[in-house]
Structures are given as C-alpha cells and as structure tokens.
Structure 1
Amino acid sequence: MRISLIFRKLTLSVCLISFGLLIQAQSRDRKFVSARQIDTKLEVTVSDGIIVFTPYSGKAMGVEFVANGKVNPPSNAIVMEPSTATSKMKENPAVVTFTHQRISVKIIKNPFHIVYQYDNKPFLTEENGYFDSIGTKGFRMRLADDEKLMGGGERVLGMDRRGNRLRLYNQASYGYETKAELMYYSLPVVISSKKYMLAFDNGAEGWLDLGATKKDILEFEAVGGRMAFLLVASDSWSDLVSSFTEVTGRQPMLPRWALGNISSRMGYHSQKQVEDVVDKYIQNDIPLDAIVLDLYWFGKDLKGTLGTFEWYRDSFPEPMQMMTKLKSKGVNTILITEPFVLENIGKYDECKEKHLFGTDSTGNPFLYDFYFGHTALLDIFKTETRNWFWDIYKKHTSDGVAGWWGDLGEPEVHPSALKHVNGSAAEVHNLYGHEWARTIYDGFSKDFPLQRPVILMRSGFIGSQRYGMLPWSGDVNRSWGGLQSQVEIALQMGMQGLAYMSSDLGGFAGNYKDAELYTRWLQYGVFQPVYRTHAQEEVPAEPIFWDEATKNIVRRFIKLRYEMLPYNYTLMHGNSVNGSLLMQPLFFIDDKPGLLDEKSTYLWGESFLVSPVVSKGATEQKVYLPKGSNWIDFWTNKSYTGGQEIVVPLDINTIPVFVKAGSLIPMANSAQSTSVYDPSNLNVIYYFDPLIAESRGYMYEDDGETKLTSGQKAYEMFEFFALNEGKQTTVSINSKGFEYKGRPEKRIITLTIPSLDGKPEKILVDGMKVKVKSTQPENYPGKPYAFWDKNQNKLKVVSEVAKGSGKTVTIFRK
C-alpha cells in the first residue's frame, strides 16, 4: 500500500515536471513574427499563432490567443463593444508597446514575453503565456512574492486563496460548512491585492492554480474552449469592480418586491398549505412579499416527477386562482424548474421527438441515473431547446407566476460522454447555468418587455449578472459552521460581479434545531441582498412556526428590512448603473494590512458596517471600525473613532451594526408587503457628527416594477446635503425627476437626527422658524414642526414637500 502510494506520487511528480518542461519548451520556441494595429486593436503574429489585444476601456483589455489552424469559440463573458478611443502602437527592434489610455502592453521580441502595465507600471507578466499540452491548454503568469489572490468563484477557503489549486467545475456541495474547495459556482477569475483582475473567458472544465504547484506561477488550464482572458486594472477597489462589470455586464434592476421577505421550504405540498402559510404570516404581523414553490407544485413525490412542467392538480386544483388570491394579499409566486426530464415522464416524448436533449455518440438522448430518477438533460445550447423551454416559462408567467427558480443547473450530474450541440459536456459544463439564465432573461425581454424578471439560480459563469441572475450559496448545512461561511462567499462573489449572492436563511441541510442559530442567521439576512428563508422540512424555515421569543425578534428585524427599502432600493440602482457592491469588504475603504483576510465584518452599501454573530452563546464580539470616519452604533447612537478595534457586548436582540458618521439614510415606514409601500412618507436619518463639514447622499425612486429602457425618464432622484458650520447645521433635501406610476404629488419628509449634541436653540424650515414640540403629533398638522426627544437626544423635523421641489432645514445648536 505504502509502496503503491510512493509510486503514484513519483509518477505524478514526473508528469508535472514533464508538463512544465513541455510548456517551457513551447515558450522558448515561440518567435515574434510581426505586429500591426487594426483600428484600436493590436494583432501580434507569432510562430504558433496570433495574439489579439482588444481594449475595452482605459482600464480593461481583452487578450485572445488563436493557435495556428484553430478558431476560438465566441466570448461568453464580454458584452461591451471594443473602445473606439485612440490606441497607440510603437515598435523598435526589441519591443512593441501598445497603449490605450491608462492600460498598456509591452511585447518583448526576444526572448518572447509580454508585460501588462497600468499607468506605465507593470502589474502582470506572462511566464510562458499560452500553452497547449496533451489534453489541456491555457495560460501561465508570474506572481509577485507579496501578492494575495482572491476569486475562483464560490468557495470557502478564506479570503486569500493563493496556494490553492482550484478545480473549475460547477458542482453541488451538499451540507458544506467552514471549508468547501469546490461548489456550485466556480469562476476562472483572479483578483489580486495589486488591484487587477484576470478573468479567463473559458467555460470548460479546468483548473486554476494559484501558486500551488509553483509558488510564483499562476496557471489556468482547461480541456478546451476559448483561449482568451480579460485584464482589468485600477487604483481603487470600487473602481476595479465597476470597470470589470462595465465589460462583463451590469445587473438589471429587480422589482421592489424582490427586496422583501420571501418564504420558501422544500417544499409546500398543496395549494391549501401555501394559502395557510401566507395567512399565518399576515396574522403574525410579519411582512411577506413572495412564496417559493419547490418541486411539489408539479408532482406528489420528491422523486420520479422531474420534467412535467405542469401543475399537479390533485394538490393544486386551482393554481391561477391561488396566485391571484396571493397577489391580492401582496404575495408573489415563484416556481422552481430543473433542466432534467425523466424518461417517459411528462414531456419526455415531446423533447425526444424534437431532439431537445443532450445526446450520446449515436445521436440518441443520453440517459443516466441520478437522485431524482432515470433522466435526460435539456441541451440548453440549442436554439430549439431554448425556444421550447421559454414557451413553458412564458405560459406560466402569463398565468401569474412572478419569478423563477432554476435549480440543479450546474448541471448537478453531467456525464462526460454527453454531447451538446456546441461541444462535449466537459467543454461547456460551466456555461450551462449562464445559458439557462439568458434563456429566461431574453424571453422576458421579448414577450414581457416591461416586466423585471426575478431569476434565482445557483450556477453560472462570468457575466451572468447581466441576465438578472440571483445566485444563492446552495445547500448549506443548518449549523453554526454553515452560517460562518456566508460572508466570505458573498464578498468574494460580489467582487467577481455577482453582487446579489445570498444564502438559505436559517440554513438548509439537516435537522439541527437551534433558536439562537436561526435568529442570528435571520438577523444577518437583513443586511444581505435577498431575504429568503429555505430549508428541508425537518425544521421549519419560516419564523411563523417558531416560538414566540424567536418570532418577536425576527419580526422586528424583518420590519427593519422593510424600513430600509429606500436605502436598499438605492443600492440596487447604484449596482445597476455603476456596478457598486451591496456587500463590500472593509479593505475597500481602509488599506490597513490584514483587512484583505477580514471575513467577519463588512459594509452594507456605503453607510452601514455589519458584524454578524456566528458563534453560539457569544457574549461579546471584536469589531474593527475602518479609519477615516467615526462610526455610530445603530442601536445606541454611541459614536466611536474609526481605525480601532472595539469589543461589543452581545445579546440575542441585536447584532453589531454601525453607521458611518455623516451618513444621510433614506428610510420608510414598515409595511406588510411592498404592494402597500408608501412613498408619500419619507424618513431621512442624518447621523450628525460636528467634525464632518459636508455630507452628501441620494435616493433613487421609480414605480418599483417597470423595466426601463436606456434613456427612459420615469424616475425621481432625491439629493441630500448636510453642512456644518460652527454651531449651525443645514440639511437640504431636493428632488428632481420625471413622472411615473405612483409618484406622490407631495411627500411628508421627516428629518431625524438621532445623535445631536443637545436640544437646538432654534430651527428654521426654508427660512421660517418652526415650533419645537414636546410630543409628536400622530398626523401631519399642515405646517412644518419639530419634535425633541430629550430622553434619546433625538431631533425630528417634519415638513411637506411637493414633487420636484425641496426643503432646507437649518438648526442652530447651543
């Protein structure tokens, strides 16, 4: 046994050495032939192929290697058109330099190698560049000694993933906790601590070696696919991500209801159960906006039903009436679908006759066993299959389905011998979910052009965000370990373009029932993109079925989620127009060494700092507050100086949340669902700090449901500005915009300052003095007023603002 093991290790070592020598030989043999500029691109001919450099902006460049006699498949990652700005090529006997604004490439002719530069400073050097070995091909780059590397998609490995060899193969990871090397959504993306991103535009099965085999070498290898990569460089983290999503596509806005509470479990067995659950939420005064129907909507049993795509009428006798009834209560219906069709079940014969399946070597449907039965797989890469599948979605959407959940889309089981229209399973595996999301998104654009789609999926590729995909972190274990991994996953995926990564709140797998764990997970959920509980049936996923103490805490947090709708909706808008992240790592705003490894605390937007409680029985928690700002405790309004670690005492009622001093936060009154969201009442919370001279903020508002075309003017923008001069504080709130459905003629705006340094001496609204009341009226009395809460040192100034106008509040402090 031991001799055999030693032999296998020696064999592997010899293979790796031989592989490395072959690659080095290829590089030494590569000779420069010529270079020419074609419009804004550079084309370099070498002895074994052509290298094309395509600038997309002053910070992003695509690089494609076309080997002699080969043709690359089209890009799946990039949607941006090449830049039309001026590029410059310079050549001398030794070097070719190609510059496009701030990004440039230097090609050394002999020995041949390539250096990439940003602002004329090298940030990445090819070691051997492109290689083509037996069974795999790819690229090799050099790494700096002090370079940290993030990326590789969805993993639980720590923030710095250097030293790992990562398999690129989307695969289910049932019941994972604090370590998961391979998960549902792998990505051939590398994010360097030197502030550049390297994204390999290749969806084939492969590996991403981050200095594991050789510590100073980054290697991408794949069994086939497109031999190209995208380079993005910047001098700020937020701009790096923004520039990356500018090239790969931005997430379109969701309907407002998708930011609300979504109830789900595996699963609801009948129409009556669904209606009873919704009614119980309402009876318990817990807001709800959607309910997800898992696989029992199309069959009675867990197994043996995939591929019907039709309502199981025994359990759901009147589905359209059910959805209409739920909608009248403000609750939308989301249905699950899978790309598998079991043999001789549902639509199998139709799909077989129309040749919609992946095939075997003889052209027949490739049939195989997996958990749910003996199945075929839809060939999502065939135009005929996409059209057929979309017709199913179109029918149910017309009947009232508001959102779609695509499950098992890795695909969960994908035999290597299965053939798709565009290649083998291995060659296209990581593109399957990407193409599936595109099928639904493009279908909505064609047949429901005004509707914003909601598309939940757990697997995809670079740029899947542009198809509205809402990824979630899969079948996480219902445990403290499962909770502990979620911030890392969300932060990593956000930086790679997938800003809406979320988790099954409460945990999915297993029967561990712990009210403390459940509470902590749902508290965290308020400050992450999609608020959706989901679990296997042994332990309830929904708060309505927990004890009163747990229910009361969770209710308060879900209502907070609804109060934050204007802030969260504005975050959504920012992500859609400039790629700004919803969840941001602390190192985005603080360059303190070590913060690149921080995965316990993060920023929710620009203003909130959140540190979820992820350990059972914890009574205190260390929280680092980034430098450059003071931070105000959201619950107590106590102010702390940034650039320090503090110890926060814990109890079950809250988690550590801080607000950046000077922030202007738009909030709303809570509601049972977003269908009764009231935009005519706006609360603006100003976190006053006398040391901050100026503060700015904004709020975006539209009808919350209509998909706006480029340039369409049907929205309103509020601008907030605060100025501190000595003992005088001025806050102005101004709106400008255009007409849209539901835009109020006037709004009651409450300016709240929860951390003022004493009762004001005088308050003016638009230059007119207002009375400071000792009790707050229930309804607006028709003219501006102020209310001072002496117990909390909290000031409220309430006034009415007509659409398209504004208000200025001036506070004279003692």
Structure 2
Amino acid sequence: MTMRHLRWSAHVYLMLCLLGTGVVWAQQDASHSGAAQASTTVTTAVVASRGNPVLPPMWAFGVLYGSYHDQAQVLSDMKQLRENHNGVLYWIDSSWLSGSYNKEPARYICFQFDPQQFPDATVMISTLRQNHFHFGVWEWPWVDQDCPLYKEGSSKHLFVEDATGHVANGKGWHGNKFTGVFDFTNPETVSWWQTLNQPLTDVGLNFFKLDTGGVYPKDGVLKDSSNSQDRYKTLYRKIPYEFSASANGGRGLVLTHTQHSTDADQYPGMWTGDSHATFDGLVAEMRIASSLNTPDTTAFWCGDTGGYNGVPDDELYIRWLEYTTFTPCQEFFGSKPTLTGSRFPWQFSKQAQDIFKSYTQLRYRLLPFSYSNAQIQYHVKPVQYQVRWIGSNQLVSGNGDSQILVQPITTAGSTTASVSFPVGSKWIDYWIGKIYQGGTSSTVPAPIDREPIFIRAGSIIPLGPVMQWVDQLPLDPLTLDIYPEGKTSYTLYEDDGVSTQYVSGAFSTTKFTSENSNKHEVVAIGASSGNYKGKPPERTYVLHIHQQGSSPAKVMRDGAGMKKLSSQGAFDAASDGWFFDAVAHILWVKFHISTSTATTVSL
C-alpha cells in the first residue's frame, strides 16, 4: 500500500469515527463523497497590506447559540427556534466529544463525535444547514495521552516538546493529566490538524469556538525556535480561521478568548470568557468587552448572554439580552450544570420570551446599519469601530451623524437609569421621542422591557425587514429611519456578505442626506456607486421621518407631487405615496427606484 493510500484510508477512518457510524477500522483503500479609536492594524493572509479589521461573514451578525446538548436536543432546539424565534448560528461545546464533562479525558480531543449522543452527526448537521443554521464545534489545541491520535503526534514530533525532546504537558480540565499541544509553528502539524478537521468541514462545519488562552507550556520549545507565546496565540487563531474561511468559500469565523496577540483583529472574533450569572457578572463582562476594539484583540466580539456560571433569573436574562442586542456579535450560552448548558428563551418566563423576540427582531432589523458600519470599520481610515464604548457602561453603535446610544441596566430592580449624554448633539429617546441635550445628565425611565436607547439627532438609520435568519429576505424594502436635525448624512456600504472580494473593491456605497431648515425637510438618496455580485438593480425605499409637528401640505419627489394616503393600512398596501401619523408625529414616504438613480424627496 502506498503512502497516498495510507493517508486516504486514515482520512476515511477519521470521517467514520467522527460521524459516529460505528464502523471498525480496516487497512484498505476507500472512497467517499467613548473609547479612543485605534488607527490601523497589521497584515493578514486575506488582506494584502496593512489595514483595518477584516469582516466575518454577514451571517455572523445574526443570533448565535451554544449548548452541551445531544443530537436529539439540538434538533429540538432548531425546531423551536425556527417556529418561534430568531437565530442563524449553532455550536456544540465540548459535549460533542463526550457526554461526560470530566470522566472520559481520552476523548479530549480525538475529533470524534460521541456515538452515544450523536448517532448520526451527518444527518444532524445537514438538517441544521437545511434550516439555515451555520454550524460550529468547540475545540482546544490539546490531545490527551490516551487518545489514539497522541501516539502519532508524539512519534512524528507534531506536539510542542521540551528542551529534551519529550512532549511538553499541556494538561487540561476534562479529567486530563497529560496532553500533547499542537505545535502550530510546524507546517507538518498544521497539515495534520487540517486533516483531522477536514471530515467536519466536509459535512458542513462553518466555524470554531476555540477554548484555552491559546498558550503553549512554559517548558515548551517551538519548532520554529521563536519560543513566543504571542506568535503561538496568533497562529492558534489564524490557522482555524483560515480553515473556516476555506470551508465557507470566503470568510472565516472563530470565537477565541480575549488574550491579546499580534494581528488578532485579522481573524475575527472573540468572546469575553466564562462570566457569572449575576448583575456583578454583567458589569465585569462589560468591562472586559470595553477593553477590546484594538488591533491585538478584535472588533467582532460578544459574551455569554445571561452569564455562563450559575443560573440567571428572568430579570438578569432580560437585561443582559437587551444589552447584547447592540454588541457586534450576540450569543447565548451557559455552563453544563445550569439549564442543561444553554440559554434558550423557552427556559425563561413568557415575559422574558416576548422581550427576547422583540429585541432579537430589532437586531435583525438593524442588520443593514450594523453590517454597513462593520464595512465602514474596514474601508475607512482611521478605523471607525462599528460599536464603541464610553467608559465601560455605555455603548454607541455607529459613527458620525448616525449613532445609537445604549445605556445597559446593570442593577437588579432598577426601573430608571441615570444617563450622561455625549456632547455635540441632541439625543432622542427611541421609545417616546423625548429630546435630551448633549453634555447633560438625566434620570430616564427604564421599565423591564425598555432598555434606555437614544438616537443622535440627525441620524439616518437604514433598517431591513424582520427576519428569522440573515439572508432570509432581501433588504427590500429598505427603511430609512430619519431624525432630522440640520444637514446630516449617512453612507450605506453593501457587499455580497460572504466572499473576500470586498478587499479588492467589490462593494457599493449609497449616500443618504437629510437637510432640515425653516421647518422644511429634504431627503436625498444618491445613486449607488460600485458593484458586487448580487447587487440589487432596484429597491423600494420607505422613509420614516420623525419629529414632524404637523402634516405637510404636500410631498414632492423630484419635483412631482406624491399621492397622499388616508391610513397606515393604505400606506402599507401601496407601492408609492405618503402618510402622516398624527399621533406619533411621523411622516411615512414610499417609492420604488433603480439603485443607479438618484432621487430627492421634499416636504
């Protein structure tokens, strides 16, 4: 048998073990089918020159769930989410390897689904993908000495070794006493690691959750003699990210711990670690998150909504999810002993479920704004972070004229919050329309279903339709949520959401302007500039213009009068026209237009 046949047979064996088929290994050939803004960052394999943080796939901006569930539970979760809630990513934590957290150390990590819990992982993953979930698994960079793979790694010197040439002990916490650590500075190790993971991507894996801080043993000597913990952490992010990117045919995604390393923001993203399910834990998680947005961390981050350790009550779960609605990534996950290792909405009260649905729907509606801001984060220099912090207790989504200020509630029982408003503009209460002056502080209402949210006066916020998953519907109609104040603008960035072609210019921009003077409002939509695969040739726009004291006598588009509609229902049913909501003081305008054509609406 040739070496090629041995390698091929080994791959088939790994595939069979990984998928829990119960097939016995045989040696034969086979075949199968407020914060300071950073400046620039460093290079990546994707980006040809020094640049800003690279983009994960657009689907990563949806809602992410993790669990310790088995195959039957995972498919049940999927069914409930699709029937009643929102979501687009699902990962299985360490339980994909073993149903026992610390009594089967040899399975950590042998790259094999536990056949008792996952009798047919291929069907499970395929079903998830058919239902528009992107799939991931937990991994760490260690192989237990009792795993069959350990002997191969040791004999071929693929693990980090000490100065005497023996395998350095990586240890672990799943009952492990001795583990080998992948030496990612060794090209042969990288190739081996990719081979071990190939069966996963062959059946639909899209991303990795990478545990540990990504360091190698202190007594270890790296193959390339760099002996740099920083280099090792960088490679521990880079190699899985690029493998994920290859599997996805474009962009990759990893979730790693928040330890700093060179080039980290070129391999998105991170999660903020194992937080505690208390309000103090929420404050601590926010403090960690506020330290990110740097070249050696990430611009794409999230935390375990509800807290990892312990059991959140309804109030904490609600307040935490209200906050993470506005973080770059939103994920729900908990420790194995608590709520069966997950944070799904149906594990909480009816009120919590309703609020969960309301806020996750808001997150999906904000997708055109948040994803455009992530593109601005890449294309515009110096870098303008999609989400930034004021201290460690306020979030701002967006930049320039269009910003959303979020004041998370971090104290149990609170129904009000003290808010300090950034100087330089007015701020409008998202819920009731009350205006606050920048540079002032005020106590504002914060009932359990209303996190204090404020819109910068002058903002133009693009909104999409309510969706259950990213790409369920085209961003048509595109709603422009406009809060007039002087002359302001927002530029919408769009691309295909999956490829890396945005790096070489495959994206488009559309500039929106709002000019308000002498009680007259003019909204201009520029012709779209640039191109990418899948760019819409035309779309419907809905203008949602706030703070209108009275109905205008007429609404003109490009000099021609538009039809006035008698009710909200008539407006919703029409393809063109306008309607004034006298109760909410909002003017609605709708029209359909080529994306290559500019247009102006005046009141």
TM-score (norm 2): 0.86
When residues 505 and 674 of structure 1 are mapped into structure 2, their CA distance, relative to the original with a 3 A threshold, is same
Q: Deviations over 1:302-338 (max 9, x none)?
A: 2312121122233222222222221221111111111
Q: For residue 195 of structure 2, what is the aligned residue in structure 1?
A: 391
When residues 381 and 249 of structure 1 are mapped into structure 2, their CA distance, relative to the original with a 3 A threshold, is farther
Q: Determine which of 43, 53, 61 is the counterpart of 1:259.
A: 61
Q: Does 1:292 align with 2:84?
A: no
Q: For residue 429 of structure 1, what is the aligned residue in structure 2?
A: 229
Larger RCO (alpha carbons 8 Å, 6+ apart)? 2
1:681 Cα shift?
1.4
When residues 792 and 402 of structure 1 are mapped into structure 2, their CA distance, relative to the original with a 3 A threshold, is same
When residues 330 and 675 of structure 1 are mapped into structure 2, their CA distance, relative to the original with a 3 A threshold, is farther
Q: Does 1:625 align with 2:421?
A: yes
3-state SS in 2 of match to 1:314: coil
When residues 494 and 777 of structure 1 are mapped into structure 2, their CA distance, relative to the original with a 3 A threshold, is same
Contact 1:490/1:583 (CA < 8 Å) preserved in 2? no
Q: What is the CA–CA distance in structure 2 between the aligned matches of 1:237 and 1:505, rounded to whole Å?
A: 22
Q: For residue 651 of structure 1, what is the aligned residue in structure 2?
A: 447
| 1:273 partner amino acid | Q
Q: For residue 272 of structure 1, what is the aligned residue in structure 2?
A: 72
Q: For residue 784 of structure 1, what is the aligned residue in structure 2?
A: 576
Q: Determine which of 258, 262, 267 is the counterpart of 1:468.
A: 267
Matches for 1:287-686 after TM superposition, within 5 Å: 287-303=86-102, 304=105, 305-367=107-169, 369-372=171-174, 373-374=176-177, 375-411=179-215, 414-423=216-225, 427-443=227-243, 447=246, 450-495=249-294, 498-510=298-310, 512-537=311-336, 538-539=338-339, 540-578=342-380, 579-586=383-390, 598-606=391-399, 607-686=403-482
1:585 Cα shift?
3.3
| 1:242 partner amino acid | S
Contact 2:264/2:295 (CA < 8 Å) preserved in 1? no
Q: Deviations over 1:468-496 (max 9, x none)?
A: 22111101111111101233322221145
| 1:388 partner amino acid | W
Contact 2:66/2:333 (CA < 8 Å) preserved in 1? yes
1:712 Cα shift?
4.1
1:806 Cα shift?
3.0
Q: What is the CA–CA distance in structure 1 between the aligned matches of 2:280 and 2:87, rounded to whole Å?
A: 28
Contact 2:293/2:299 (CA < 8 Å) preserved in 1? yes
When residues 805 and 450 of structure 1 are mapped into structure 2, their CA distance, relative to the original with a 3 A threshold, is farther
Q: Deviations over 1:562-587 (max 9, x none)?
A: 0000001011101222321122234x
Q: Does 1:699 align with 2:492?
A: yes
Q: What is the CA–CA distance in structure 2 between the aligned matches of 1:451 and 1:415, rounded to whole Å?
A: 33
When residues 464 and 707 of structure 1 are mapped into structure 2, their CA distance, relative to the original with a 3 A threshold, is same
Q: What is the CA–CA distance in structure 1 between the aligned matches of 2:533 and 2:170, rounded to whole Å?
A: 51
When residues 556 and 298 of structure 1 are mapped into structure 2, their CA distance, relative to the original with a 3 A threshold, is same
Q: What is the CA–CA distance in structure 1 between the aligned matches of 2:423 and 2:259, rounded to whole Å?
A: 36
| 1:398 partner amino acid | D
1:339 Cα shift?
0.4
Q: What is the CA–CA distance in structure 1 between the aligned matches of 2:130 and 2:597, rounded to whole Å?
A: 34
When residues 669 and 709 of structure 1 are mapped into structure 2, their CA distance, relative to the original with a 3 A threshold, is closer
Contact 2:554/2:561 (CA < 8 Å) preserved in 1? yes
Structure 2: which 5+ residue stretches go unaligned?
1-33, 44-48
Matches for 1:724-763 after TM superposition, within 5 Å: 724-763=516-555
User: Which region of structure 1 is more displaced relative to structure 2, 802-811 or 787-796?
Assistant: 802-811
Q: Deviations over 1:553-612 (max 9, x none)?
A: 1110011000000001011101222321122234xxxxxxxxxxx322231222011110
1:731 Cα shift?
0.3
1:353 Cα shift?
2.3
Contact 1:430/1:460 (CA < 8 Å) preserved in 2? no
1:402 Cα shift?
1.3
3-state SS in 1 of match to 2:479: strand
| 1:468 partner amino acid | Y
| 1:722 partner amino acid | S
3-state SS in 1 of match to 2:447: coil
| 1:687 partner amino acid | Y
1:795 Cα shift?
0.9
Q: For residue 556 of structure 2, what is the aligned residue in structure 1?
A: 764
3-state SS in 1 of match to 2:555: strand
Matches for 1:32-47 after TM superposition, within 5 Å: none
Q: Deviations over 1:596-636 (max 9, x none)?
A: xx322231222011110000001221111111101111111
Q: What is the CA–CA distance in structure 1 between the aligned matches of 2:324 and 2:416, rounded to whole Å?
A: 20
When residues 528 and 554 of structure 1 are mapped into structure 2, their CA distance, relative to the original with a 3 A threshold, is same
Q: What is the CA–CA distance in structure 1 between the aligned matches of 2:181 and 2:194, rounded to whole Å?
A: 16
1:792 Cα shift?
0.6
| 1:707 partner amino acid | T
User: Which region of structure 1 is more displaced relative to structure 2, 633-642 or 564-573?
Assistant: 633-642
Q: CA RMSD in A?
A: 2.3
Considering only CA atoms, is the larger Rg found in Structure 1 or Structure 2?
1
Q: What is the CA–CA distance in structure 2 between the aligned matches of 1:509 and 1:765, rounded to whole Å?
A: 56
Q: What is the CA–CA distance in structure 1 between the aligned matches of 2:168 and 2:35, rounded to whole Å?
A: 46
3-state SS in 2 of match to 1:492: coil
When residues 508 and 464 of structure 1 are mapped into structure 2, their CA distance, relative to the original with a 3 A threshold, is farther
| 1:389 partner amino acid | W
Q: What is the CA–CA distance in structure 1 between the aligned matches of 2:550 and 2:570, rounded to whole Å?
A: 24
| 1:535 partner amino acid | G
Q: Deviations over 1:94-141 (max 9, x none)?
A: xxxxxxxxxxxxxxxxxxxxxxxxxxxxxxxxxxxxxxxxxxxxxxxx
When residues 245 and 728 of structure 1 are mapped into structure 2, their CA distance, relative to the original with a 3 A threshold, is farther
| 1:655 partner amino acid | E
Q: What is the CA–CA distance in structure 1 between the aligned matches of 2:170 and 2:511, rounded to whole Å?
A: 58
| 2:353 partner amino acid | K
1:757 Cα shift?
2.5
When residues 762 and 585 of structure 1 are mapped into structure 2, their CA distance, relative to the original with a 3 A threshold, is same
Matches for 1:214-225 after TM superposition, within 5 Å: none
Q: What is the CA–CA distance in structure 2 between the aligned matches of 1:517 and 1:346, rounded to whole Å?
A: 44
Q: Deviations over 1:193-230 (max 9, x none)?
A: xxxxxxxxxxxxxxxxxxxxxxxxxxxxxxxxxxxxxx
**Which has the larger share of strand?**
1
Question: Size of the alignment, in residue pairs?
Answer: 551
Structure 1: which 5+ residue stretches go unaligned?
1-235, 587-597
Matches for 1:232-243 after TM superposition, within 5 Å: 241-243=38-40
Q: For residue 182 of structure 1, what is the aligned residue in structure 2?
A: none
3-state SS in 2 of match to 1:522: helix
Q: What is the CA–CA distance in structure 2 between the aligned matches of 1:679 and 1:632, rounded to whole Å?
A: 26
Q: What is the CA–CA distance in structure 1 between the aligned matches of 2:249 and 2:197, rounded to whole Å?
A: 16
1:745 Cα shift?
3.3
Contact 1:250/1:465 (CA < 8 Å) preserved in 2? no
